[in-house]
Amino acid sequence: MPYTEEPSFRYPGVQCMSFKVLNTTYYFSDAATQFLNENDTVEAMLRAFSRGTAKCPTMTAIYGSKDIAKCLGGRNTRGRPEYSDPIYELSDKDQLELERIPEKAKQVYVEWSNDKEREFPYEEFKSHCIGKDGKRVPDYKWKKWQRILGGKRVIPLWASGSGLHTALMLPKGEADRIPETFRENEYQQYLLTGIVARSLEKSIGVSTGRAFYTLEMPLKLICKTSKGMHPGIRWTLADGLVVNNYYVKSHGRDKKSRKMPCSPLSAFTPMVPDWYSDSEWNGHGQWKSKARIAVRVSHLYGNDKRVPSELKAALEDLVSKIMSKKKKPKFPLQLIEDILSEVDPHRQSEEAEEIRKLLTHGSYSLQRYADKEADRIDKKGFSQGLSPNFVHSMDAYHMRTSIRELSESIEHLSFWPVHDAFGTHACDVPQMMLVVREKFLEMYQGRDLRYWLDYMVDESPGVEIDFDEDPLQVNDGPYGRINIKDSEEGEPGLKTMCSERGLPTSGLKAELVHRLKEYDAEQEGTTVDELYPPTMLRTLWDQSKTTLDISEVSDAGYLIA
C-alpha cells in the first residue's frame, strides 16, 4: 500500500519516503558534502533514490532476498561487485577474525611472505586452517584468512550495470562532475551503498506495512520443523496444480574433485602423448599441465629459426619461471598459439597439432549430487525459497484462471502475460480488466493466509504446528544479541552474566539465554512468556481485519498496470 505521509512511486523506498525514514538526508549529505557541493549533493541524492535505482531492491526484497546491497553494487544488479585494491586497514570484524586463525596457518603465511617470489603454499596453508570443530574450514574461510593475514582489506565498489553505478557513475552531460568525483573517492562508494541499502530496506517495510514479513515468519517456522525430504512443503491450488517446495544442492570441483572425470589429471593416459602424461619429462615434474605444454614447445621450437626473437625471449622467460618452482606464472595461451602459427602456419605438423589439441584440454566441472537424499537437501534454499515460491504460485494461478476465463468469452484471444502483468488488444482491455479483478477476488475468497498455512502443515510430511499455540519466534529480550564471551570493550557476555547471578555457565547460547530469562521471570514473580512474550501468529496478523475489498489494496489502474 502507498505510504500516505509523503508522495511515493510505484516501487516503495524512493526519494521523499526514503529520506524521511532513517533520516537518510543527514547520512547521505554528511558523506557526500565532503567532496560535492550543495547542488551536486542534492542531484546525487535524487539519482541514488530514483525509481530506477529502487526497483530491483524492492522487487528482490518482496520475493525474499535480503541482499539489497547486491542490487545497488553488483554487476547488472545480480552479480558480484567490483573490488578495490587491498589498500584499506582491516575492519574491527577482520581484527577479531585474525585472532581466530590458527598459529600454524599464520606461520606458513609468514614464512611465505619472507620469500614471495615462490608460489604460495596453498595445500600446506589449507591443512592448518582448522576450525573449532577440528575440521578443515570451507574454501571461502581459508581464502578470507589468507587475505586478512596480508594486513589489508579490499572494499566492494559499484560494478557496471549496478543500481548506483547507473545512477551515479554514468555522466548526464559534459558538465556532470558527480561520476569523476566518485571515482576519485572510491571509499565513498562503499559508504553510500550501506546508507542507501539501509534506507531502502526500512522504507520497503514502511510502504508495505511489513506485509512480506508477516507472510515470511510463519512460513519459516514450517520450514524449520521440516527435514526438507521429498516432497518438501506441499500445497495444492484450486485448479489441481500441486506445488512442492523441495530443494537439493549439487557440488562441483569447487567442493571436491572426487569422481570428476573432466579434468586434465583424469584423462586416460594411453590417449595422450607420453611427454604429457609422464610424471617427469625434461626435468619438469607437473604432468598433464599447461606448464608441461610450455616446456614441450620450448623443447621443440626454442631454437627454431622460424620463431621471431621476441617470441623466443618470452618463451625462454616463461620456461625459466616454470622450472624455478617458485611463483607460478600465468599460462600465456596467445604466446604459444603465435609460436605454433609461425612454425606451422598451414597446420601440417603432427607435433604442432598434438599441442594444439592439448591446449583445449581444460578442467570442466560437472554438477553432481550426494548419494543419500539427506546429504543433498539444500536447507538454506528450502527455507529462503518457500515465501517467494508461494507468492509466485498464487500469481501463476491468477494468470491461468484469467486466461481460461477470457478464452471462453473472447474469440481468438490475444493475451500477453509477464508474471503479474497482463496485456491484450485495446478492444478487449475492458473485458480483461473485469476478469482479472474477478479472478483476483475469487482466488482469495475463503482462503486467507491462515488457510494456506494450515493446508501446508496438513499436506507436508513430518510437519506438525499449531499456529494458535506454537510461537513463530522466541523473544530473547536483551540477551538475543549478546555473545557468549565478554566483548573486547569489556562488556559482559552471557557466561559472565550467568556467573554473576549464580547460574550454571555451561551449555550452548540458547541454554544460557533461557537460564537468564528464567532468572528474570523469577525475580519479577511472573512467567518467562509473560515477561518476554514470544511472537505469535495472532499478534503478527489480525485475521479479523482481513478484507477482500480490492479498493483498499490498490486502485484498478495500479492493479492492471
Contacts 24+ apart (CB under 8 A), 510-518: 512/479, 512/484, 513/476, 513/479, 513/480, 516/479, 517/476, 517/477, 517/479
Could you tell me the maximum CA-CA distance found in the chain, to the nearest angstrom?
96
Q: Which helix (H) or strand (E) holds 244?
A: strand 242-245
Residue 132 grid coordinates: 573449532
The CB-side HSE value for 104 (13 A sphere, CA atoms) comes to: 9
Cβ neighbours for 396, distance < 8 A, ≥ 6 positions apart: none
Q: Which helix (H) or strand (E) holds 300?
A: helix 290-301
Inter-residue contact 336 to 294 (CB < 8 Å): yes
DSSP string across 111-146: HHHTTTTSPP-HHHHHHT-B-TTSSBPPHHHHHHHH
Q: How far apart are CA 399 and CA 492, in angstroms?
A: 56
Secondary structure letter of residue 284 according to DSSP = B
Active-site entry in 420, 470, 476, 486: 420
Could you give the 3-state DSSP secondary structure of residue 11? Answer: coil
Cβ count within 10 A of residue 78: 14
Amino acid at 352: A
| Phi-psi group of 210: left, alpha or beta (phi > 0 → left; psi -120 to 50 → alpha; rest → beta) | left
Is 317 part of the annotated catalytic residue set?
Answer: no
Q: How far apart are CA 148 and CA 86, in angstroms?
A: 10
Q: How far apart are CA 58 and CA 200, in angstroms?
A: 8
Cβ neighbours for 91, distance < 8 A, ≥ 6 positions apart: 153
The CB-side HSE value for 137 (13 A sphere, CA atoms) comes to: 19
C-alpha distances in Å from residue 5, one per residue of 8, 16, 21, 158:
9, 10, 11, 32
CA triple 517-519-525, angle to 5 deg? 100
Q: State the residue for C-alpha cell 494458535.
A: 468
CA triple 125-289-291, angle to 5 deg? 90
Nearest to 459 by CA among 223, 238, 233: 233
Length, in residues, of the chain = 561
C-alpha distances in Å from residue 187, one per residue of 10, 81, 181, 191, 194:
32, 14, 11, 7, 12
Q: How far apart are CA 235 and CA 453, in angstroms?
A: 9
Q: State the residue for C-alpha cell 489502474.
A: 557
Write out the catalytic residue numbers.
Answer: 420
